[in-house]
């Protein structure tokens, strides 16, 4: 009976290769703050039967994940070569003026966090940023404003629901 139970537990346990998906799910489970909580980190380490320090090492290696609370919308602005050449600094300056936040900062209302990241893998559509899991391309001030306004509108709608 004990052996049968062990086999069942083994089969239910997620595989080591699923660690990134587990972190992704954990982060998405905190949509207002977009981060992996200590409780979730410990839960994932336990499920995978790996040391907590190893789980912490993996989650901190990937910039997509955060261990500290961030905004509802995390803007990840690419500043690698193609995006820089085609105007990422202008987009950065516009966001800074519009939202009053710089690199690594979160708006006072907890709505937006701005991060500056390396290549997002879409250099032919530069400049680009991602907001949470969505890629926005060919950005200029007008398009950036459209994206920010749409996100603010979406947030208001969610509150009204
Ligand atoms: S340089 Fe920005 S997406 Fe590649």
Token pair for 89? 């600094």
Q: Does some domain include residue 68?
A: no
Domain-ending residue, one of 34, 61, 88: 61
* pLDDT tens digits, 39-79: 999 999 999 999 999 999 999 999 889 999 999 999 999 99
Within 6 A (CB) of ligand 1 lie: 78, 80-83, 119-123, 126, 128
Ligand 1 centroid – CA 1 distance (Å) = 55
* pLDDT tens digits, 113-128: 999 999 999 999 999 9
Residue 60 and residue 64: Cα distance in Å, rounded? Answer: 9
Q: Does some domain include residue 100?
A: yes
Tell the burial category of 33 from Cβ atoms under 10 Å away from its Cβ (0-12, 13-18, 19+). Answer: middle
Do 54 and 120 reside in the same domain of the chain? no
Range of 125's domain? 73-160
Ligand 1 centroid – CA 16 distance (Å) = 30
Do 89 and 25 reside in the same domain of the chain? no
Q: Does some domain include residue 51?
A: yes
Do 53 and 77 reside in the same domain of the chain? no
Residue 122 and residue 83: Cα distance in Å, rounded? Answer: 9
Do 54 and 82 reside in the same domain of the chain? no
What pTM, to 2 d.p., does this model score? 0.84
Residue 25 and residue 37: Cα distance in Å, rounded? Answer: 12
Atom of ligand 1 lying closest to residue 82 CA: 1
Name the domain count of the chain.
2
Q: Does some domain include residue 116?
A: yes
Q: Does some domain include residue 33?
A: yes
Tell me the torsion sign for CA atoms 137, 58, 32, 68. negative
Ligand 1 centroid – CA 84 distance (Å) = 8
Ligand 1 centroid – CA 55 distance (Å) = 29
Closest CA to 137 of 65, 96, 89, 88: 88
Token pair for 103? 């690199």
To test ligand 1's pocket by mutation, which of 63, 119, 137 has the most ligand atoms within 8 angstroms of CB? 119
Do 51 and 94 reside in the same domain of the chain? no
Q: Does some domain include residue 152?
A: yes
In a 13 Å sphere around the CA of 2, the CA atoms on its Cβ side amount to: 0
Domain-ending residue, one of 61, 89, 107: 61
């Amino acid at each position: 009976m004990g052996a049968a139970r062990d086999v069942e537990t083994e089969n239910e346990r997620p595989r080591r290769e699923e660690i990134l998906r587990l972190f992704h799910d954990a982060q998405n489970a905190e949509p207002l703050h977009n981060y992996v909580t200590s409780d979730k980190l410990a839960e994932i380490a336990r499920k995978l039967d790996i040391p907590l320090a190893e789980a912490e090492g993996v989650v901190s290696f990937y910039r997509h994940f955060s261990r500290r609370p961030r905004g509802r919308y995390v803007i990840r602005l690419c500043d690698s070569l193609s995006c820089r050449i085609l105007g990422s600094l202008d987009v950065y300056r516009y966001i800074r003026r519009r939202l009053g936040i710089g690199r690594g900062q979160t708006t006072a209302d907890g709505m937006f966090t701005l991060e500056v990241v390396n290549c997002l893998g879409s250099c032919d559509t530069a400049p680009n940023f991602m907001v949470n899991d969505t890629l926005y391309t060919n950005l200029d001030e007008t398009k950036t404003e459209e994206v920010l306004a749409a996100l603010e509108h979406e947030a208001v709608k969610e509150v009204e629901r």
